[in-house]
Structures are given as C-alpha cells and as structure tokens.
Amino acid sequence: MRASQRGLHISGAERLVSRDNIDDAVRPLIERALNHPKGEPDDVHLCIEPIAEDAIRRIPALRISQHDNNHPEAADAFIDQHLSQITALDANLRAQVISWFRTVSGLRGAMLVCARTGRRLEPDRARGVRVSVVDAVSHTTKSVKNHRAEALVLASKVVAHPNIVGEICMSDDPDYTTGYVTTSHEYCIVPHIKEVGSTVGTRVFLYSGPDAEVAATIEWLENAPVLVEVPHA
C-alpha cells in the first residue's frame, strides 16, 4: 500500500501472506492509509503480486539493544560515534551524513551512502531506495502501526545484505520520536532522536561493497522476498 497527498508520500506498508490471508491483510492496510498522523491521502495504491514460496529467504531478526539518550543533540553525537565504528568516513563526511539525516525528508525510500566516500549512491535521489517484499513470520493483522516491530523487520532485511554495514533511522511521524541505528547484528533503539511535532524523518543505509554491485544490491533490497523470524512476533 502506498498513500500520498498532492504527490507527497504519506505512508506505505506491505505484507507477505499466503493467498488465503489476502483479505485479512488488505483491510488494515487501507485503514492505515486513511488514518495517518501526516494527513488524509488523495491517492492510495494497493498492489498484489504473486511470489513463489521457494523464492522466499528466511532470516533471523537483529538482536535489540537500547542507547540511553535524552535529547536530539545528544543523539547526533551518538550517531557520529556509530558512523565512525561502521564506516571509514572522516569527521567532515560523517557530519555531512548527519546533516542529510537531519534535513532530507519525504523520500519514499532510504538514502544509500557509500561508507568509504560518503557519496549518495541512489540512482533517484528524490525517491531513495525503497525496501520491499519483506514481512515478519506470523505477523499480526493489526491496523495500528507498530513502529518497532515493522522497523525491526525492515532493518533486519537491510543488513542481511553483505554490502550493507548498517543503518540510521528516524521516523517521519510527528508523534514518534524514537529512532534507531543498526550494525549487521544489532538494532539499537535511540529515544528522543528528534523533537515532538517534527515531520522530518528518513533512513540512511551505509554501503560498503564494490561499486559494480550497487545496482544489484538495490535490486535485492527492493525486490528479494524475505521473511524475518522475530522472537514472540
């Protein structure tokens, strides 16, 4: 499901379900599209695509930890430290990434940033890389968005690709101020990553692979079917 207002992205969500469960899965997605804190959409797209069961890869969810953060400015220092651990970027390039993280918003997808050069690698910068065809094994059918559960599923797929070393994320929902950062094995919750009321939000994926594999990596993130095994999902 994809909902927008005057061409601007409002919300998007998807499910990976068996044919018998399509009915149950679709209703909550429509409800979600029509009841979003960012406003009422004037355009909602629902798309249903068949996927062969043997094409689906199953992966474990990242383990969860939490950083004790109490202010957006303090979050920047933590993100900087995180970037210095998972990338080869110097202080200036890390500051550039954090500045994009704080200002770029409204993309349908994520920014893809080279962990060696700090360059943005998405072919379409206004769209970003939209991770898709992913769901939790035994997902519930609630229409209310569960930010943590959905983000954990998406983030687990992203770093399951060997060329992605981590992610930083901040929700664009004005009333959701908890973000996260990941490594290839951990999802670290960052409370108070932004001020309440701000609609700025984005994801940055850090790419550390050969230049020649950027397109194939994006293709995998956007189209490879993945089910994430979440404990107690």
Question: What is the distance between the alpha carbons of residues 2 and 36, in angstroms, rounded to a whole number?
Answer: 12
Q: Is 69 in the site for ligand PML (CB under 6 A)?
A: no
> 3-state secondary structure string, 138-173?
CCCCCCCCCHHHHHHHHHHHHHHCCCEEEEEEECCC
Query: What's the farthest any 2 CA atoms get from each other in the chain?
Result: 52
Question: What is the distance between the alpha carbons of residues 230 and 185, in angstroms, rounded to a whole number?
Answer: 14
Question: What is the distance between the alpha carbons of residues 88 and 114, in angstroms, rounded to a whole number?
Answer: 9
| Interacting partner of 119 out of Mg ion, ligand PML, none (Cβ under 5 to 8 A depending on kind) | none
Selected binder of ligand PML within 57, 148, 208, 209 (CB under 6 A): 148
Q: Is 14 in the site for Mg ion (CB under 5 A)?
A: no
Question: What is the distance between the alpha carbons of residues 166 and 204, in angstroms, rounded to a whole number?
Answer: 8
Q: Is 179 in the site for ligand PML (CB under 6 A)?
A: yes
| Interacting partner of 148 out of ligand PML, Mg ion, none (Cβ under 5 to 8 A depending on kind) | ligand PML
Buried b (16+ CB within 10 A) or exposed e, 80-102: bebbeebbebeeebbeebbebbb
Applying CB under 5 A, what is the total number of residues that bind Mg ion? 1
Q: Is 178 in the site for ligand PML (CB under 6 A)?
A: yes
- Quick note: the x/- pattern for Mg ion over 132-171, rule CB under 5 A, is ----------------------------------------
**Which residues pair with residue 45 across a beta bridge?**
2
H/E stretch holding 85 reads helix 72-86
Q: How far is the CB of 201 from Mg ion (least distance, A)?
A: 6
Nearer to ligand PML, 173 or 213 (CB): 173
Nearest to 18 by CA among 229, 227, 232: 227
Tell me which stretch binds ligand PML (CB under 6 A): 16-24, 53-61, 165-173, 204-212.
165-173
Q: How far is the CB of 70 from Mg ion (least distance, A)?
A: 23
Nearer to ligand PML, 37 or 123 (CB): 37
Question: What is the distance between the alpha carbons of residues 150 and 90, in angstroms, rounded to a whole number?
Answer: 32
Q: Is 11 in the site for ligand PML (CB under 6 A)?
A: no
Nearer to ligand PML, 38 or 116 (CB): 38
Tell me which stretch binds ligand PML (CB under 6 A): 2-10, 84-92, 123-131, 147-155.
147-155
Selected binder of ligand PML within 189, 214, 227, 230 (CB under 6 A): 189
Please report, as ranges, the residues that interact with ligand PML according to CB under 6 A.
147-148, 151, 169, 171, 173, 176, 178-180, 189
